[in-house]
Amino acid sequence: MDFTDPTLRTPPVSLADVSGYLPGDPVGTEYFTQFSRSDRMAKNVMFRAPKGRHHVGRDETAVDMVERAVAPLVERHGAREISNIDVLLTHTQLPDNPVLGPGPEVARRLGMKPRWVFDIHNGGCAAFVHMMWTARMILQTTDARTALIACTQNCAGPVFTQSDIRGLAQAPVPGDGCGVGLLVKNNSAPILDIECRTYPEFAGDMEFSTNGDRKYWEPGAGQGCVTFTESKVAKVMTRGNRLVPEVAQAVCKRIGVKSSDIDTFVTNQPNRLFLRNWNEAMELPPERHPDTFDSCGNLFAAGIPVTLDAENRAGRLRNGSVVLMAAFAHAGDFAGAAAVRWGAAR
Amino acid sequence: MTTSALPALSDIPEAAIPGLLRIENSDRDATTPIILDMLRSVYPHDQIFGDFCPVQGFIEAPPRELYEYLADTRCLEEWTYSLRGFTETAEPGLWVSHDRLGDNTNIYTRTVANPDAMTVDYHCAWDQSEHLWMIYLMRVVDAQVVFDKPGSVVLWTNCHHPFYDRNPYQDTAPDKRKVWVGDFWEMFSAGHQLELDNLRAIAEYRAAHGLPIKPDWMSE
């Protein structure tokens, strides 16, 4: 036995449960094709876009979404367990208040008094893995026993239905939703390994622009949207193709499992091409790489927990199976992967 | 019997080049697992197309005629995706055309062909003709020799010149053009495959219909 092995000195941390929430009635793709600038574009949109997605209501806040996503956890684990959470981490795609994250208000709404509350912005579409990594560190190094991590994607309705934006080919791809995870310091569904990497060389390639000179906080015309320059699209595509399998393979190697033996691989879901390329790169049959793209679109950070929840509720995640999660963020400035021995089967 | 009578590597001290694998220092039993480990079922895109962009294919058309077609710069008007309007400049052998990938973009091309090796190298550049740094290396091989059947094999390689990442001739670029040729590098493998498919379709149609591979208008 290797007594210098850090896993012997650190307690196991489990992803004990996941849950998700999708706001409102599904919005069909016809909503967007009516605004397409040409028939050709409408056809292209029909081909590439998901069949449906959910849009958050105008007055529904990120706090509301987290509260609704946590409701099934309250039901399954008891209100007391949730209100006793020690660590609360949130990630919100479009903060309702740009200078303040929703963490403290989420805690108030759920009757919690957590000792560690962090609103974290940089994990992007890989935020679920990023927050598992952060929460695990806190649980392993303090007397904290439980953590709640919450990923809210809420920019599809507010941003991508603006009158200038909804006609763009990319407008129908995002969907709104929220996914949460419950982490507990025990061995019920142990996190086998996590790999998180920041790539400073790819930072700054994604912009938030108002399609003009206006800063987003300044008054005036011009609708805000996340953009890549046209020339960067191929670069981002190639990076994404590479980064997700890279971190996923790194985790596979360390836990001693061949990628083709992973029971369930869940990634973020920016588009169909990435989903196909990643599952080819991992040499997995498509059925072991489930997604919710067609019914939910690109859920950004919420994609991993929402898909895990859907698979779990459908009875397709077996206790004892190896579940691997992987994602990359923004234009490639962050990527993460985490493996869990599943223990939350319904 | 000796394995070699040649003074191989006699100019280099022994073990001066670490990692050299030769039958003398790594026998088949030792090397086979190393080679097997290098074989994969999936190869990262970057590993195949990072610094080089190789595409190749078989074309059912006579190699000599295909070579002669490719050796004429004007053929690019037909099988490339976006180069149009070729006219010869005052400098013999230097042609200018539009690359319609960019707004208002001129591309200059000089073709260097070798009939003995059947190599056709297109030396090109966007915006200026002083330094033709984009070099498309093509080679036509007689398929009879390599595949034991009539036809041609076309090998086409492109190297990732640093100017693809940084245009040193900003002053010659048209105003307000948003793209640079190197922005498309990651798409070159697929884009060149698409163009090679065009070349195959055109050449095979002409060959199958008894038309000259190099059309008459190009010989005028």
Give the C-alpha separation, B33 to B52, whole Å: 27
DSSP, residue by residue, B140-151: EEEHHHHHSSSS
Nearest CA in chain B to A282: B42
Q: Which residues from A are below 8 Å from B41, CB to CB?
A: 283
Q: Which residues from A are below 8 Å from B187, CB to CB?
A: 234
**Closest CB to A281 among B42, B180, B186:** B42
Contact present, A296 and A172 (Cβ < 8 Å): no
| A:B CB pairs within 8 Å | 31
Give the C-alpha separation, A87 to A143, whole Å: 11
Best of B42, B49, B177 to mutate (most A CBs within 10 Å, chain A): B42
User: Over 90: is that where the pLDDT of A137 sits?
Assistant: yes
ipTM of the predicted structure? 0.71
Chain B nearest CA to A230, separation (Å): 8
User: Over 80: is that where the pLDDT of A95 sits?
Assistant: yes
User: Over 90: is that where the pLDDT of A230 sits?
Assistant: no
**Closest CB to B42 among A234, A237, A280:** A280
Contact present, B114 and B131 (Cβ < 8 Å): no
pTM for the model? 0.85
For position B71, what pLDDT does the model report? 98
Give the C-alpha separation, A110 to A88, whole Å: 11
Nearest CA in chain A to B181: A231
**Closest CB to A242 among B45, B178, B183:** B45
Tens digits of pLDDT across chain B (220 residues): 556 689 999 999 988 999 999 999 999 999 988 888 888 778 888 889 999 999 999 999 999 999 999 999 999 999 999 999 999 999 999 999 999 999 999 999 999 999 999 999 999 999 999 999 999 999 999 999 999 999 999 999 999 999 999 999 999 999 999 899 999 999 999 999 999 999 999 999 999 999 999 999 998 7
